[in-house]
Each structure stands twice: as structure tokens, then as C-alpha cells.
């Protein structure tokens, strides 16, 4: 689990709203992540802290593997 600071919220030239998140890697060293604002909780504001957690998605992995195998088989039959 990592923590991210919502540094600011910006609107791009294309009208997309992005949150600029800062994730501390080391003392004085931060990763800047431009994250689509709609991915964040609805009440997120500049200055908030968020928890970020990555979790395996076995179901999607299985679905994608199956789709790729089907496509490969289809291509080999042509």
C-alpha cells in the first residue's frame, strides 16, 4: 500500500480533468502521477491524502489469456 498526496487538480486542453498525485519514493524524491479525476473518490480535493493499493486480478487475467488464445487459434486457422 502506498500513500499519494493530491497536489492539484487540472483541466487539460481537451477538457479532461486530471489529479496530479505525488507519491513519495524517498526523502525528497517524489513520483508525479497524472490520474483521471473520475478514478478518485467523489469528494477528493486538493490537499487530500489517498491510499493506493494494487491487487492481483486473476479473473481478468484468465479472461484475457483465453481471448488471446482464441485469437491466436483463429489466426492459425486462416
Count of structural domains within the chain = 1
Q: What is the CA radius of gyration of the chain?
A: 19
Q: How far apart are CA 51 and CA 27, in angstroms?
A: 19
Residue 55: predicted pLDDT = 95
Residue range 6-35: mean pLDDT, rounded: 96
Residue range 9-34: mean pLDDT, rounded: 95
Residue range 55-61: mean pLDDT, rounded: 96
Which residue segment(s) compose the domain that 15 sits in? 2-77
Strands (E), the chain: 2-11, 17-26, 29-36, 49-52
Q: How far apart are CA 7 and CA 22, in angstroms?
A: 6
Q: Positive or negative CA dihedral for 46, 50, 55, 59? A: negative
Residue 20: predicted pLDDT = 98
Residue 33: predicted pLDDT = 96
Amino acid at each position: 500500500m502506498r500513500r499519494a498526496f493530491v497536489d492539484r487538480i487540472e483541466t487539460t486542453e481537451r477538457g479532461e480533468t486530471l489529479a496530479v498525485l505525488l507519491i513519495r519514493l524517498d526523502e525528497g524524491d517524489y513520483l508525479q502521477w497524472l490520474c483521471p479525476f473520475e478514478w478518485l473518490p467523489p469528494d477528493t480535493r486538493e490537499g487530500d491524502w489517498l491510499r493506493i493499493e494494487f491487487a492481483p486480478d486473476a479473473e481478468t487475467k484468465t479472461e484475457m489469456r483465453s481471448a488471446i488464445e482464441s485469437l491466436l487459434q483463429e489466426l492459425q486457422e486462416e
